[in-house]
């Protein structure tokens, strides 16, 4: 749970064993140590049965506003029982030198940001083209209901499309049901990195409060998300959901070269979105609705890679160096989406379509190959 991230960090930094191990690495100020709680998985180990464990991985910041992911404290991590909120074991494989470079990305730290582009303003003087009634959106021929929960985040309900006088049902429910991030490094502690970001952390609970002009552009409508923390207390995430329209370029165009008459239709889409931060990763979830009746779901991956420190001159075949002595392991992000379709009613089916070459034509081409002149003749 979200509030347990902070509690876990406090427990690790107050643990005498961890303090001793960190000071052994020449780090005196525990306030600059940054701790991320990674799920431990289940590997059938008897000593881990019945416990809600996380692995506490540590990084060092050079100042309170520093990007700690630039300096992993590798070779050291702890297992924390979240139910008891205590360190149950410490793994110390010996000190690894800290990477030498900063990884700060703020304009103040970088010195400046790009200044060679003029402002791009999106203005809708007459307001947006959508209408909102509680959690129901009407736009063009679309009607969409939406919700939000701690595990899945943004959820669509009863999506329909008004077609030739009839409101046709399209979706009963749609959401991200799970996502998993497996890592390809067999060495510890990365070998246990296999995070289920929805089921183990809660994509909805980790949603950002979005800001006009940064996360979304244009004539925006925001919605809050209301959930509960691990103690059952209400938690409100302001502006967790963003609704706006986007110009989407040319939808259709034709030029009659005989009459020089030109017709252009521009495309517009409705965007319903949210963004969640899971430790070092940031995920943007975008549901797009188009004027031609199509729906698209896009996930944008951004943020910072999960990092480990390597000794000087050492490389790993399981990933790449991001900076001197700073290593990012190979990994994947799998997104599973639940689509409860209801196109024109309940009797829907799924089928797969593949394009195959015409067999007769392929045979003709193969039989003609020996007759073709050789290259250079």
Separation of alpha carbons 198 and 176, rounded Å: 8
DSSP 320: E
Give SS3 for 68. Answer: helix
Q: Locate tokens 């103690």: which residue?
A: 231
Q: Locate tokens 């000593």: which residue?
A: 47
Output the six-digit token pair for 279: 């430790």
Separation of alpha carbons 313 and 275, rounded Å: 38
Q: Residue 8's closest CA among 54, 74, 60, 69?
A: 54
CA atoms within 13 A on the CB side of 48: 14
- Check 197, 201, 283, 327 and give the catalytic one: 197
DSSP 207: B
Separation of alpha carbons 31 and 13, rounded Å: 8
Residue 259: burial class (beta carbons within 10 Å; 0-12, 13-18, 19+) = exposed
CA distance readout (Å), 218 to 49, 71, 227, 270: 51, 38, 28, 12
What number of helices (H) and strands (E) belong to the chain? 4, 19
The answer to whether residue 197 is catalytic is yes
CA atoms within 13 A on the CB side of 34: 17
Q: Residue 329's closest CA among 315, 346, 341?
A: 315
- Check 161, 281, 283, 327 and give the catalytic one: 281
CB atoms under 10 Å from CB of 156, counted, come to: 23
DSSP 183: B
Residue 18: burial class (beta carbons within 10 Å; 0-12, 13-18, 19+) = buried
Question: Which alpha helices (H) appear in the chain, and where do they start and end?
Answer: 2-14, 16-23, 107-110, 359-368
CA atoms within 13 A on the CB side of 139: 25
Which amino acids are annotated catalytic? 197, 281
């Amino acid at each position: 749970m979200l509030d347990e991230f902070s509690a876990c960090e406090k427990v690790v930094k107050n643990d005498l064993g961890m303090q001793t191990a960190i000071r052994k690495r020449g780090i005196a100020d525990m306030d600059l140590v940054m701790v991320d709680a990674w799920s431990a998985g289940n590997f059938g180990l008897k000593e881990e049965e019945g416990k809600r464990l996380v692995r506490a991985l540590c990084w060092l910041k050079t100042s309170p506003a520093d990007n700690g992911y630039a300096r992993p404290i590798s070779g050291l991590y702890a297992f924390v029982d979240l139910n008891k909120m205590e360190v149950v074991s410490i793994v110390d494989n010996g000190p690894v030198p800290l990477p030498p470079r900063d990884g700060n990305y703020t304009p103040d730290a970088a010195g400046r940001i790009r200044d060679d582009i003029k402002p791009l303003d999106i203005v809708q003087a007459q307001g947006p083209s959508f209408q909102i009634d509680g959690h129901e959106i009407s736009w063009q021929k679309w009607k969409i209901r939406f919700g939000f929960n701690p595990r899945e985040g943004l959820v669509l309900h009863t999506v329909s499309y008004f077609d030739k006088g009839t409101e046709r049902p399209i979706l009963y429910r749609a959401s991200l049901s799970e996502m998993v991030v497996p890592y390809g490094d067999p060495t510890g502690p990365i070998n246990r990195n296999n995070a289920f970001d929805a089921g183990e952390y809660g994509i909805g609970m980790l949603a950002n409060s979005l800001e006009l002009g940064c996360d979304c552009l244009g004539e925006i409508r925001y919605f809050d998300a209301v959930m509960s923390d691990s103690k059952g207390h209400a938690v409100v995430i302001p502006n967790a959901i963003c609704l706006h329209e986007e110009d989407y370029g040319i939808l259709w165009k034709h030029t009659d070269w005989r009459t020089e008459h030109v017709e252009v239709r521009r495309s517009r889409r409705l965007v319903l979105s949210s963004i969640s931060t899971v430790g070092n990763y940031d995920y943007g979830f975008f549901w797009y609705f188009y004027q031609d009746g199509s729906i698209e779901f896009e996930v944008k991956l951004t943020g910072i890679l999960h990092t480990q420190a390597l000794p000087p001159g050492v490389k790993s075949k399981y990933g790449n160096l991001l900076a001197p002595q700073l290593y990012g392991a190979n990994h994947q992000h799998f997104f599973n989406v639940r689509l409860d379709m209801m196109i024109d009613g309940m009797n829907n089916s799924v089928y797969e379509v593949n394009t195959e070459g015409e067999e007769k034509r392929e045979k003709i081409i193969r039989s003609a190959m020996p007759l073709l002149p050789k290259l250079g003749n």
